[in-house]
Amino acid sequence: MAKKKVKFCCNSCGYESPKWMGRCPGCGEWNTFVEEVEIVTKGPRGAFQHSGDTVVQKATPIVKIVTEEETRIETGMEELNRVLGGGIVPGALVLIGGDPGIGKSTLLMQVSALLAQKGNRVLYISGEESMRQTKLRAERLGVMSEELYIYSETNLELIHQTIEEVGPKFVVVDSIQTIHHPEVTSAAGSVSQVRECTGELMRIAKTKGIAIFLVGHVTKEGQIAGPRLLEHMVDTVLYFEGERHHTYRILRSHKNRFGSTHEIAIFEMVHHGLKEVRNPSELFLQERSLGAPGSTIVASMEGTRPILVEIQSLVTPTSFNYPKRMATGLDHNRVQLLMAVLEKRMGMLLQAQDAYIKVAGGVKLDEPAIDLAVLTSIVSSYKEQSVQPTDCFVGEVGLTGEVRRVSRIEQRVQEAARLGFKRAFIPASNIGGWDFPEGIQVIGVETINESLRACFNDL
């Protein structure tokens, strides 16, 4: 006889409790417990788990395990290949999250078409749209292929049967929060459903060597909805960033078992879908105002690729006792630290000034090498003096005002020289051991005093 069991699960971390609690002991969040009814039956679970899929293995010494180089499959998008670590690994489980309308379904539909055009059978499973609606979206994107199969279903048992019948090499599930396990009585999107459905799809991916892409909804805090366990179960977690009303989208890797997590992919949303941005530096700098106070250029590294980005500052007298400090695309605490260094080491009275700092283009920068550019941008706005448009800045700033060494300085300077910059201010400790590119003057500075005096006349 089946027996009902009532439990309460945390929507944030998946913590289970026999009674409702206001605060979760697992993650500390408030009002995240929801009631779920679980049907406990005797006997083996998983009516549609085929015994032929299970492979019994024995523990083996690591030195006796034979390994082969995993062949990656290119998606047809160089930007996506870079984020995935060179391509798709067969049997990988990839989770893509992002705000509503950011372009998750559009990206996966375009990737599905590119893979199908290469002769790979792709199954696109939509739990939010009918097959007719999915085709209308595909026609708008210009996506048509005989090897691209569309299926609209939310029942995991029927999805498993369809995968057996179609035999695809790639599967897209849009989205995981709409899929429900027939043996779990809670509603679709609940903690139990997301955990069980992801576990079943992971088993399918690993046993059959099928690469599966999952679309995940996000909460208002920007985290993927469902238990935190979801991100631990998958092989790769990708986040789509950007504003819905802006054309640029950034795909960033937060977890990747098969590659680096420092790479980003940049796309532009156009009328026929997402378009790859091959030269992001030129894109971010094409609309900057030359000679405007508060504008500086930094050579930042995103993974293995250098990107030149504009940093803008607006420093203005405040009318309140406590000045405002606002940062977009930068760490707010880092900005406050740099302004404190300016007050202490350079004698600038910024206590009565509001400061607004942003990274143009919607990029988020978090590496220490941007410190010198941010600091110079603040001084430029405060002094109402512009820096030369052909100057770029790279360097980490310490609390004593020193400019510290950064990594991959050669690639940063080469990218600046390629885009026509004439001077590059870098840490003095990075000078030596490499050849400077032609057409650019490399200036090594030890302190912020040296750098600022070379840029402004009255310091």
Q: Is 4 labeled as ligand-binding?
A: no
Q: Is 440 labeled as ligand-binding?
A: no
Within 10 angstroms of residue 54's Cβ, the number of other Cβ atoms is: 9
Q: Which amino acid is at 458?
A: D
Q: At 366, is the secondary structure helix, strand, or coil?
A: coil
Q: At 207, is the secondary structure helix, strand, or coil?
A: helix
Q: Is 118 labeled as ligand-binding?
A: no
Q: Is 179 labeled as ligand-binding?
A: no
Q: Is 103 labeled as ligand-binding?
A: yes
Q: Is 209 labeled as ligand-binding?
A: no
Please count the residues of the chain: 459
The pair of three-digit structure tokens given for residue 129, joined into one six-digit string: 């749209």
Nearest-angstrom CA–CA distance, 234 and 396: 35
Nearest to 382 by CA among 356, 345, 401, 403: 356
Q: Give 27-83 as a DSSP string.
A: T--BS-EEEEEEEE-SS-S-TT--GGG--------GGG----PPPPB--S-HHHHHH
**Token pair 């009318």 in the structure block, residue:** 319
Q: Is 125 labeled as ligand-binding?
A: no
Report whether the peptide linkage leading into residue 313 is cis, meaning its omega lies within 30 degrees of zero: no
Q: Is 371 labeled as ligand-binding?
A: no
The pair of three-digit structure tokens given for residue 30, joined into one six-digit string: 């408030």
Judge contact between 306 and 300, C-beta under 8 A: yes
The helix-helix angle for 448-455 and 371-383 (nearest 10°) equals: 50
Q: Which helix (H) or strand (E) holds 308?
A: strand 305-317
Nearest-angstrom CA–CA distance, 389 and 308: 13
Judge contact between 134 and 269, C-beta under 8 A: no
Indicate the annotated binding residues for ATP. Answer: 98-105
Indicate the annotated binding residues. Answer: 98-105
